[in-house]
A = this chain, B = another copy of it.
Amino acid sequence: MTTDKLLMRKAINLSIENVKSGGGPFGAVITKDGKIIATGVNLVTKNNDPTAHAEVSAIRKAARKLGTFDLSGCEIYISCEPCPMCLGAIYWARLGKMYYGNTKTDAKNIGFDDSFIYDEIALIPQDRKLKSEQILSDEAIVAFQDWMKKEDRIDY
């Protein structure tokens, strides 16, 4: 069995164990140079944290462990294709590659409607089910102007 498959099996085992212990059926493993840096499972209901998906949990742990917000050169193994929140986190963390087991269609079939969020995100704000409204844009822009003027800013 290849290293990739062994690492995916680890993510899958995490997802199976997490169901047993009362969490959601999702697991993630982050590696660097083939070695495991961090793992994560879905802790939404256990931790009362709607952002505690397996991928976000693993990314936060890996970044803390490596002491950087930039996980370039790392890869992620996920028991299921990520939802938009987690896919966004994967881009922000600059992970080099993702391996996944189940698809978002598999997730939809057991009641996790990531597809709904994918569809909503593709729409302009006015067309989404989520109500939204832009206000005070003339005041909000000041922070962006300050950011551009700041010579010692840390870009990310």
> Interface residues, chain A, CB within 8 Å of chain B?
4-5, 8-9, 12, 15-16, 18-20, 22, 24-27, 44-45, 48-51, 53, 56, 59-60, 63-64, 67-71, 79-81, 83-103, 106-107, 109-111, 116-118, 120-122, 125, 130-137, 139-144, 146-148, 150, 152-156
Between-chain CB contacts (< 8 Å), 7 pairs: A9-B139, A18-B143, A48-B67, A51-B93, A85-B88, A99-B132, A102-B143
Cβ-defined contact, A103 with B134, below 8 A: yes
Cβ-defined contact, A69 with B89, below 8 A: no
Residues in B neighbouring A122, C-beta threshold 8 A: 121-122
A137 CB to nearest B CB, Å: 5
Kindly identify which residue among B98, B131, B152, B153 contacts A97, using a CB–CB cutoff of 8 Å: B131
Kindly identify which residue among B99, B107, B146 contacts A133, using a CB–CB cutoff of 8 Å: B99
Cβ-defined contact, A51 with B51, below 8 A: yes
Cβ-defined contact, A48 with B24, below 8 A: no
Cβ-defined contact, B12 with A136, below 8 A: yes
Copies in the complex: 2
Residues in B neighbouring A93, C-beta threshold 8 A: 50-51
Cβ-defined contact, B84 with A16, below 8 A: no
Q: A87-B84, A101-B135 are in contact. Are A19 and B147 (CB under 8 A)?
A: yes
A111 CB to nearest B CB, Å: 6
Cβ-defined contact, A137 with B101, below 8 A: yes
Cβ-defined contact, A117 with B140, below 8 A: no
Q: A50-B59, A85-B89, A141-B106 are in contact. Are A135 and B64 (CB under 8 A)?
A: no
